[in-house]
Amino acid sequence: MNVPEHFQFDVQDHVATITFDRADRLNAFTRVMAQDLVALFDRVDADDDIRALILTGAGQAFCAGADLSPGQSSLSLERSDEDVSTDVDWTDPATRDYGGLITLRLYECLKPVIVAFNGPAAGMGVTMALAADFRLASISAKFSLPFTRRGIVPESASSWFLPRIVGIAQALEWTLTGAIFSAEEAKTAGLVRSLHEPQDLLTAATDLARDIAANTAPVSVALTRQMLWRSFDMAHPMEAHRIESRGIYMRARASDIREGVQSFLEKRSPDFPDQVSTDMPSFFPWWEPQNY
């Protein structure tokens, strides 16, 4: 299996683990790495054998953010003297923040995503994880959103995600000060679900992923994930009621419901037959795609 440079990719017991593997640079990201990671997400979504995804980092850090060395980032010093006095074509993909490519692809993901912060995370190392469904952290992890300290602004669609996760007051404090904060503070604010000893972190993430893989229906998980994330765009609860009604109506007539009920009555683990690749209901997707 071809795996892009700077990544490890492993699948066991229906759980895929993607490990950022650029430890000598604290797993700092380049645009090419962002594009390669999006391609790995595509691979995960297309494989019905994979029912959950874990993201973690190799070495001492989860991700130090964008690689600011020359030629690697739009934030590197060599770009600071470019003339932007003329009109900019904002539809040009070259103007896009590449951290946002990752976050928006995670937002669209059909499999549950678990982030295991094995060490420090800064900038896009934090923000690209905001579209994950679960975030666990080592007690040794530290976090920072240092955008204002670098003369830039939040990225990776974090101005949308972060206030929804931790509240506007906490989001403002972290982004306006750019200060480093601890794993304990991240947990208290709700950025991470739980804290673990370094040697126990990946085990905890894997146990959570395997529980989902073994006991839930993949199509139901894919639908539920999108229903909850996209509820933030709904103007009235009637919109949620419409989607839930369609989901209940279609799922009640699918093969999974028979297995779900029968396995419950027989007190055994379920073996759901429906697949994300072939059995999503006819009303999916129910939203209009957004273009840059």
pLDDT digits (tens, 9 = 90+) for 270-281: 999 999 999 999
Q: Where are the domains of the chain?
A: 7-71+89-212, 216-292
Q: Is the pLDDT at 156 greater than 90, yes or no?
A: yes
Percentage of residues of the chain with pLDDT beyond 70: 95
Q: May I ask the CATH architecture of the domain 7-71+89-212?
A: Alpha-Beta Complex (3.90)
Q: Which residue has the tokens 């759901």?
A: 272
User: Predicted confidence band at 83 (pLDDT cuts at 50, 70, 90)?
Assistant: low
Tokens of 92: 């040009």
pTM recorded for the entire structure: 0.93
What separation in angstroms does the CA of 113 have from each of 58, 71, 106, 122? 18, 31, 8, 19
62 — pLDDT class (breaks 50, 70, 90) = very high
Quick check: 213 pLDDT over 80?
Answer: yes
Whether 76 has a pLDDT exceeding 60, the answer reads no
CATH number 1.10.12.10 is the correct assignment for the domain at 216-292? yes
Give 222: exposed, middle or buried? Use CB within 10 Å, 0-12, 13-18, 19+.
buried
* Unique residue bearing structure tokens 């670098």: 150
* Tokens read off for 57: 């980092």
- Cα–Cα distance measured from residue 162 to residue 123, given in angstroms and rounded to the nearest whole number: 12
The residue-averaged pLDDT of 83-101 equals 85
Per-residue pLDDT, averaged over 21-40, amounts to 96
Q: Identify the band that residue 71 occupies on the pLDDT scale cut at 50, 70 and 90.
A: low
Identify residue 1 by its one-letter amino acid code: M
> Nearest-CA neighbor of 119 among 145, 140, 146, 144?
140
